[in-house]
Amino acid sequence: MALTKNQIAKRIAQEMKSGDYVNLGIGIPTLVANYVPEGIEVEFQSENGILGMGPFPKAGEEDPDLINAGKQTITPLPGASYFDTALSFGMIRGKHIDLTVLGAMEVSDQGDIANWKIPGKLVKGMGGAMDLVASSENIIVAMMHTNPKGESKLRSACSLPLTGVRCVKRIVTNLAVLDITSDGFLVKEKAPATEISQIVKATEGSLIVPDYVPVMKLD
């Protein structure tokens, strides 16, 4: 059974440790803030100048002046702070972010990521992605294993313009958790009720499958 976007976010939330400073990209990554495990305290940072974001607000409780870098309304946690973009990018470029979670259109088996542009289509721009991939030492990608056409997004080489080179450490898709190694994608976990053959079929890049692959624990 393939994971939903919320379940992907829930699995990624398990990667966080107390005291981490975390940047969440747009798309699936923004959902991670809703699933911080009990007892874990992290600080979510957004490029537009917020440190200390909480879960998304409930319907009717949105404050249009409180948004993340993806223009989504957010809630502040007690002690949250606000600052200008220059200071925000200073945090990123100064390597003060412990974990970065990004969405992607493609990831190569060497850890390259393409997540900002499809030639011929209008995009909002690079945003903070270029700085994040150049400065962050722990990058996890949250994405679907295949695109809407059924084509693999885990490739031997990205076909779209690159955002960063050899920077991704781990990928969580609707089918599996995979680590980037020198030999390609290493399957670490599989989604519940998912067969290894499904993961193999959906992966275009080099894939390493151990003899035993545990099932993801989402609870």
pLDDT for residue 129: 85
Which residues have C-beta within 8 Å of that of residue 102, sequence separation ≥ 6? Answer: 25, 29, 113, 115, 129, 132, 133, 139, 140, 141, 142
Handedness of CA 153, 158, 159, 163 (dihedral sign): positive
Rounded to two decimals, the pTM is 0.93
Closest by alpha carbon to 200, among 213, 218, 181, 182? 213
* Structure token digits, residue 23: 């940047």
Fold of the domain spanning 5-208? Glutaconate Coenzyme A-transferase (3.40.1080)
**Low-confidence residues of the chain, pLDDT below 50?**
none
Q: Is 189 annotated in the active site?
A: no
Domain ranges of the chain: 5-208
pLDDT for residue 181: 98
> How far is it, in rounded angstroms, from Cα 125 to Cα 105?
14
Which helix or strand (DSSP H or E) is residue 199 part of?
helix 196-202
The CA distances from residue 117 to 26, 37, 92, 121, 162, in Å, are 14, 33, 22, 8, 8
pLDDT for residue 133: 92
The CA distances from residue 89 to 85, 151, 206, in Å, are 6, 35, 35
Q: Which of 47, 106, 195, 204 is catalytic?
A: 47
pLDDT for residue 125: 65
> How far is it, in rounded angstroms, from Cα 79 to Cα 55?
15
pLDDT for residue 73: 93
pLDDT for residue 27: 87
Q: What is the identity of the amino acid at 134?
A: A
| Residue 97: HSE in the Cβ half-sphere, 13 Å Cα cutoff | 31
pLDDT tens, 171-194? 999 999 999 999 999 999 999 999
